[in-house]
Chain A
Amino acid sequence: MSEKTVYESLRESGLSRRDFMKFCGLLSGWMGLEFLPGVKALAATPEQVAEALMAKPRVPLIWLELQDCAGCTEAISRSQSPSLVNLVLNSISVDYQETLMAAAGFQAEASMRATMEKFKGRYVLVVEGSLSTAADGVYCAIAGRSGPDILREAAASAAAVIATGNCAAFGGLPKAAPNPTGALGVGDFIKDKPIVNIPGCPAIPEVTTGTIAHFLVMGTLPKTDRLKRPLTFYGHTIHDHCLRRPFYDAGKFAESFGGHGAREGECLYKLGCKGPTTYNACSSLKWEKGLSFPVQSGHPCLGCSEPNFWDGGGFYQAQSAPIDRPTAAAFGLAAGVGAALGAAMAGANGLAKRKAGKTEPAEPKKAAE
């Protein structure tokens, strides 16, 4: 085999065995995430990490962009730990990624094809953006091929599929009413592969890279909730760890942007915050090395890690307020549909919370032989 392991590559780049074990210790510490409130430990020892990195060549990764805005690509480029540079130089080989790759045109396609053949059953497929299934796929064509055609082929030989962002996970913005292009989430289309969803708009960078890192080290996808979201990042709501939570408990609510309550940092529930029904790690991990997250910056949570959040009942309407779904009238739907959607969303969230601890882990799959 001419392929080199991560360990061999690191040794050749001048890293000693001792340094390598230190690196594995750091990575396993990071995998444990013990310093984060509300984030469950993944329990990998330095030895397990070392074993994982020494046993394989760099894991190839194919990153498809379908109906996307590249926001999740931008996001992952801002991952703090592990950083994108670190991942790319040391752990993975990004063999197809339209926004970042050097090759274009048929050479880009050749790079993807080479990986699919050489690493059959061993590469990770990351998908960003929703899948348009209407009108023979003419709404998203790449290299003259339709989205469904490309996704079907790329998924067929993948070891695992990671759907990053709300669009790939649940259909996201393109699926918002009236879903003009027949957009779907990846899991609605690919049924025979282990899939993990990393919803968010965009996905939190460290949640995507953390899930990739979990796969590299453990060889499996992490345990997930019923919406296939990793429990470690989606086990609690924004509300559970929100720094404005004490104000909620005390019944102190900001009534207006810029008003007295807003200046005091009071709870944004009445301004429409969806934190209580939104499962994500914004309030625990935060953004840009813990600098802030939307609620901390004074804006209510939009609920962007939940299915159909774009139609969830109005970003500025308190969740217990009567729901006036604006699109209902315009699209000739029954007036109650919006309310039903909102209620369904809340119901689904409740169910997710109740079941979260009991769901089965995603089907384990070997990363490489």
Chain B
Amino acid sequence: MSPRIVIDPITRIEGHLRIEAGLDASNTITAAYSSGTMVRGIETILQGRDPREAWAFAQRACGVCTTVHSFASIRAVEDALGIKIPKAANLIRNMMLAQQYVHDHVMHFYILHALDFVDVVSALQADPKKTSDIQQSISAWPNSSPSYFADVRKKVQTIVDSGQLSLFSHGYWGHPAYKLPPEINLLAVAHYLECIDWQSQVTKIHTIFGGKNPHPNFVVGGVPLPIDMDGDQSLNAEKLSVIADSIKKLNDFVDMVYIPDLLAVAPYYLDYAALGEGLGSFLTWGEFPEGDIADTSKYVVPRAVILNRDLKNLIIPDPRDFDKMKEYVARSWYAYKGGDGVGLYPGKGETVFNYTGPKPPYKHLAVEGKYSWLKAPRWNETPMEVGPLARVLVLYASGNQATVGLVNAVLETLKAPASALFSTLGRTAARGIETKVIGDLLPRFYGQLVAEIKAGNTATFESSRWEPHTWPSRAEGFGFAEAPRGALGHWIEIKGGKIANYQLVVPTTWNASPRDHKDQPGAYEAALVGTKLAVPDQPLEILRTIHSFDPCMACAIHMFDADGRPVAEAGTGFNVVVEP
């Protein structure tokens, strides 16, 4: 076997991810293996509980993409029980999710992704006057004076001189793959620091409607906060004003900092416009219903599959299609009754633990066999990429005007061909484009909410099916969310008022999936092949492509049987196999 490098932990992501990659003589990646190394068993824990509580458990799948599992969960329960939520509640949910996108994507760009492209130490060489000139040429952001940037440089200098580099300790500073001039590095470091303060003040939509962030509260049937313009604890004019201010603050940072920075940094890394494509096939479940949630034609982001870059023929996938939506475990630490060759529909999934990996401490995983806690979800036996690039392509292909305009403008600015979208840089640019498109939905949803209130439609909760005695004895439901990281689906079965089966197929399970029964790699694994490492023991290039997907591992791994026994024998009632 060729030399294999290991990166574990992959940092600046949510959760625990390990990448092993084989290199040829020129240090180019010939094969990559993506492994999730932490499990908690959330689906096991959900068995037998009150379905109205499932959102709280599921939400804790992830604290970075907080809220998204709650959306999928309450929608799954509402789907199963036939609950139609009031219009105002739907608009409030849309606003909560849109805020999550803007907050999460900006956080990702600066806090999780930027240091792959920005050399913090190089910023010390910057001329603050030149940085100021650059800043003033790219946007009207007020923090732009030479003295402002001199001050930021001094802060960095103080940290470096102290010998305690804190979060910047042991970074790949000075790596030959860093290409930005010192002045742009300084600009980006300033905005890295500003981003931390900004993001701490713009989760107000969650805090008002959910009481806190991360992990705001939700309720099956609507939203917890009532609307009453004459009430002092309800949604009233004062709270609406806080929300309006917060929307402006969210979008100002996108317009004046995030997008200009993205366009200032990208020209130095155009080699990544031809690297890191991966699969070329994409899936979205769709998001932002503006009418009845059952009517997918009223979604802002359509539900679609793109196969092999074919933007002309969008396919509408059915999440309830037993034959097409399946998970495989040939290379995952699980065993199916039917063997490693079969795939199972998530609603009827089996999960029997089958850890065949080495006992810790270990140096390498046995990647020829099973090597991950992630299953391999496939649509029609085909691996899919999900996330911002998938959504932007679907929006573009379906003629969403805002998206078409932004994509064309970005390609023109970078003088890049349309094929550049299918790349590491394309993925990172798509996240920015999507942030702008969805951020601009916030004022629209806000306006729609105010119109509903004016029309007297202030109901926020549908109570007729709250009590379990109103439920059918058996019900199945599908709930979804287009999480910032991609298509998320929850499948629930309710029997006798309790959860009989609960399954999650989450964005990072798609993107970080291991190989499958046909030896087809997952999106990360495919995207890394062909990447050349300048310094093999400082694999900055791998981090760039992996971070472009924005991994979320805690979400991706959630189920298994702790004792490794068939579930029926274990007697836990876990993941009961339901005969069709």
Contact = CB atoms under 8 A, between A and B. Distances in A.
Interface in B223-248: 223-226, 228, 231-234, 242
Contacts of A178: 44-45, 572, 574
Contact of B463 (A89, A141, A259): A259
Contacts of B12: 98-102, 104
B344 interface: no
A340 interface: no
B211 A102 contact: no
B9 A3 contact: no
Interface stretch (B74-82, B197-205, B268-276): B197-205
A285 to B, nearest CB: 11
B224 A297 contact: yes
B83 interface: no
A293 B216 CA distance: 9
Contacts of B66: 71, 74
B22 to A, nearest CB: 16
A314 B467 CA distance: 14
B211 A70 contact: no
B362 A144 contact: yes
Given A78-B213, A291-B207, 6 more contacts: A69-B14, A85-B193, A102-B167, A144-B360, A264-B231, A294-B217
A33 B64 CA distance: 29
Interface residues of B, number: 114
Contacts of B470: none
Given A78-B200, A85-B197, A102-B120, A180 B48 contact: no
A88 to B, nearest CB: 6
14 contacts: A57-B162, A95-B164, A99-B11, A102-B168, A107-B172, A140-B39, A173-B42, A263-B226, A287-B211, A288-B200, A288-B201, A288-B204, A298-B233, A315-B56
Contact of B211 (A177, A299, A330): A299
B278 interface: no
Interface stretch (B129-137, B152-160, B301-309, B520-528): B152-160
Interface stretch (B409-417, B444-452, B554-562): B554-562
Contacts of A72: 63
Interface of B: 6-16, 18, 37-42, 44-45, 47-50, 52-53, 56-57, 60-64, 66, 111-112, 115, 120, 154-155, 158-159, 161-172, 193, 196-197, 199-201, 203-204, 207-219, 221-226, 228, 231-234, 242, 355, 357, 359-363, 459-461, 463, 466, 498-499, 537-539, 543, 554, 560-562, 564, 571-574
Contact of A12 (B161, B360, B537): B161
B215 A201 contact: yes
A293 B211 contact: yes
Contacts of A256: 461, 463, 466
Contacts of B216: 297
B214 A71 contact: yes
Shortest Cβ-Cβ A-B pairs, 5 listed: A71-B63, A330-B48, A258-B461, A265-B233, A294-B211
Interface in A138-195: 138-146, 149, 173-174, 176-178, 180-183
| Interface range for A | 35 or more
Contact of A3 (B154, B164, B165, B225): B164
Chain B, interface SS category: loop
Nearest to B116: A102
Nearest to A75: B214
A195 B233 CA distance: 38
A309 to B, nearest CB: 10
A58 B164 contact: yes
Contact of A182 (B60, B162, B543, B562): B562
Given A9-B158, A288-B207, A138 B57 contact: no
A57 B215 contact: no
B211 A93 contact: no
A257 B8 contact: no
B167 A332 contact: no
B210 A297 contact: yes
A330 B500 CA distance: 9
B116 to A, nearest CB: 9
B167 A98 contact: no
A2 B162 CA distance: 8
A208 interface: no
B16 A332 contact: no
Contacts of A329: 48, 498
Interface in A75-105: 75, 77-80, 83-85, 88-89, 92-95, 97-105
A139 B214 CA distance: 25
A297 B13 contact: no
Contacts of A60: 164
Nearest to B196: A85
A291 B242 contact: yes
